[in-house]
Structure 1
Amino acid sequence: MHSSTVATPEPAVAQPAPVRRLLSLDALRGFDMFWIMGGEEVIHVLAKTTGWAWALVMADQLTHAQWNGFRAYDCIFPLFLFLAGVSTPYSLGSRLDKGDSRSKLARKVIIRGLILVLLGIIYNNGLFEKPIAEMRFGSVLARIGLGGMFAQLIYLYIRNERTRYGIFAGILLGYWALLLLVPVPGFGAGNLSMEGSLVGYVDRLFMPGRLHKVIHDPEGLLSTLPAICTGLLGIFAGTALRYAGLSDGKKLQRLVVGGVACLALGWLWNLVFPVNKNLWTSSFVLVAGGWSLLMLSLFYWIIDIQNLRRWTFFFIVIGMNSILIYLANRVIDFEYTAHFLFSGILHFFSEPIQLVGGTLAFLAVKWLFLYFLYTKKVFLRV
């Protein structure tokens, strides 16, 4: 008689539930980049050639406010930084769940931020084309790189969400205090003009090279501080969307309520601290953030809740390579290609149709370039 032993099965190790990819995030990023890569030119040309009332209204909204104030076009840049924040709990959060060390992830975050700063310098100045005194070091990419980098480092090392909210409020209030209380030689404290603001003064003192507006740079040093809050606001939204304990409806509700609250607080703050993109004021952070939250909630509801996705492909192709197409404007002559391919056909039409058609052709060439890269699975990841 022999005995047999039955092996006791090892207990299954609990694995984190797979996180659903947010198609709405990719689509909204592409929608945002669409206006930068030429979508706004279509509206401007339509307004100029037709005089249609809706086109004139949209064309006006697709210009920046001169100083104080807010237009739709002022939201495009902060929306991009906000969306980088939204993706953070998915990218870094999933890596933390898998056991990656914070220091390893922090190194990647810092390297990415510095690469974007470098790409911004190249975008502004080319490669070795100008002496340092004539170079512009502030850039859209640098603002995204540094604002996103510091927001992500806060996400990595401050795990308590209430503390993150406290940091968010502290930065916005601290920035307000700096601009109102710190005197600028020749202007005193609380001057929020281009010439007399603390933001421009710090840029003139410490920014190397030239400033975009000679005495002020809209992507300068001090205004990077509140830009961190734009990235943090995206992280707050991404954290809510990634949280498995909330239903889709509750997530949508949080986004909408957060958006409305930010808009209300931002415009209330505007009474004493004007909404101003050039200074990236605290009130601007809230107003731009409010609209960003509402746009994300709309895309999330349509795409991820209602599952209406077919229309998103056009924007996803753009969103998957948004930084690449931004940089490509400097090295590829899309306008020449569009003229070469379509000018012969457009020649047979009236001048207004030629102008509109030429702008659409320019946009189409860019999109087809991105589509080719999409089909080949070529994506620029920074």
Structure 2
Amino acid sequence: MFWIIGGDAIARELFASDDPQRWTNRVAEQFEHVAWEGFRFYDLIFPLFIFLVGCVLPYSLRKYAGNPRVVYGRIIRRGLFLVLLGLLVNGVLQFDFANMRFAHVLERIGIAYVVAALLYLHTTWRGQAVAAAAILLGYWAIFEFIPPPGGVAGDYSIEGNLAGYIDRNYLPGIILEKYYGYGDNEGYLSTIPAPATALLGLLAGTFLQSTAKPWRKVFWLASAGLVCLVVGNLWGLSFPIIKNLWTSSFVLVAGGWSLLLLSLFYAIVDVLGLHRLAFFWVVIGMNAITIYVGQRIVDFGEISNFFFGGIARLSGSSSTLVLLLGVIALKWGLLYFLYRHRIFLRV
């Protein structure tokens, strides 16, 4: 969430250069999405959210494992709330449905959450692993063997892929150019493998609750991450790594990095006990949805200019960076105020 609320813009401002040969440009491009095939750091943010949604399920639902019926309503309500919140962010209250984008990241998170939560309540970790594998293989088979009308099976191009065809013809509202133009990157078909991302997180969360010793958990989480990276990249040779289509290879590569990051931060925060290092991020994470939606309503850029515009003007070439840092400071300050007063938007 730090990157979404302005950290990405700061990174690009710090590292981007007019000199195409400068090494910092390669760092800056990691804070932008790949246009189509491939993987960059910025492509990890969304799947990492879904991975963490799955990771916390064993902690929030474990007490209901023996009597799952009592929590069905809560699970469905949370899923629906995320879907409705996604529509709200997209402008549903403007009632201009023909010119509205209907798909949204929050809707995909809600769907993945419901599927993973129900599987957690009714299956063992083996069943969840089988379900994740079945989803990934089934999604591959859809692309590999079902051609779009007038096209060919196994077409992973921007213009000819099956998911794009379905979105263009059956997804209501408009298809925006910034979401690759020929389909929506949170459209119908590409949502199918998203629960597999949540299931990878669910398996990791279940393992964290096991009786294994802490450093063994670190080792096995990191090992699982490396295995996912290897398998994902090898699969990507025939089923390309494409975030916009959420291909199965993309799920594994993103899952691999998610597992490695989880093992790293588990080692730092839980095993080594360096809790203070996490405080800055905890403040943001405790109200992630609040700031994600709130920045669409509140113009933090204008507020930053009001408070820091003078400093920015005196900073010369660093003026943009000053204003961007001001935006982050204002957002974090708001979140800290909410944190101190124990005010949290819970889904």
- Give the TM-score, by structure 2 length: 0.95
Structure 2 distance, partners of 1:195, 1:49, is: 32
Residue identity opposite 2:319 in structure 1: Q
1:254 maps to 2:220: yes
1:71 maps to 2:35: no
Cα RMSD of the aligned pairs, angstroms, is 1.6
Shift of 1:34: 0.4
Gaps of 5+ in 2: none
Give runs of aligned pairs for residues 349-364 of structure 1, distance below 5 A: 349-350=315-316, 352-364=317-329
Q: Is the 8 A contact 1:212 1:218 kept in 2?
A: no
1:197 maps to 2:161: yes
Match of 2:52 in 1: 83
Q: Is the 8 A contact 1:106 1:156 kept in 2?
A: no
Q: Deviations over 1:140-193 (max 9, x none)?
A: 1111111121111111122x2212111111110010000110011111211112
Structure 2 distance, partners of 1:140, 1:346, is: 34
Shift of 1:246: 1.1
**Structure with bigger gyration radius:** 1
- Equivalent position to 1:47, from 6, 15, 34: 15
Structure 2 SS opposite 1:217: coil
Q: Is the 8 A contact 2:38 2:241 kept in 1?
A: yes
Q: Is the 8 A contact 1:44 1:55 kept in 2?
A: no
1:236 maps to 2:181: no
Structure 2 distance, partners of 1:48, 1:325, is: 26
Residue identity opposite 2:329 in structure 1: A
Match of 2:138 in 1: 174
Q: Is the 8 A contact 2:92 2:100 kept in 1?
A: no
Gaps of 5+ in 1: 1-32
- Equivalent position to 1:61, from 5, 30, 33: 30
Match of 1:375 in 2: 340
Residue identity opposite 1:272 in structure 2: S
Shift of 1:212: 3.2
- Equivalent position to 2:81, from 112, 115, 122: 115
Shift of 1:136: 1.1
Q: Deviations over 1:333-373 (max 9, x none)?
A: 111111111112232221x2211111111111111011111
The range that moved more, 231-240 or 356-365, is 356-365
Shift of 1:50: 8.9
Residue identity opposite 2:287 in structure 1: N
The range that moved more, 54-63 or 325-334, is 54-63
Match of 2:106 in 1: 141
Shift of 1:215: 2.8
Identity %: 47
Residue identity opposite 2:2 in structure 1: F
Q: Is the 8 A contact 1:64 1:74 kept in 2?
A: yes
Match of 1:323 in 2: 289
Give runs of aligned pairs for residues 183-332 of structure 1, distance below 5 A: 183-213=147-177, 214-243=181-210, 245-332=211-298
Structure 1 SS opposite 2:193: helix
Residue identity opposite 2:292 in structure 1: Y
Structure 2 SS opposite 1:271: coil
Q: Which runs of 4+ in 1 moved over 6 A?
A: 49-52
Shift of 1:53: 4.8
Structure 2 SS opposite 1:301: helix
Shift of 1:39: 0.2
Structure 2 distance, partners of 1:292, 1:161, is: 18
Structure 2 distance, partners of 1:251, 1:94, is: 22
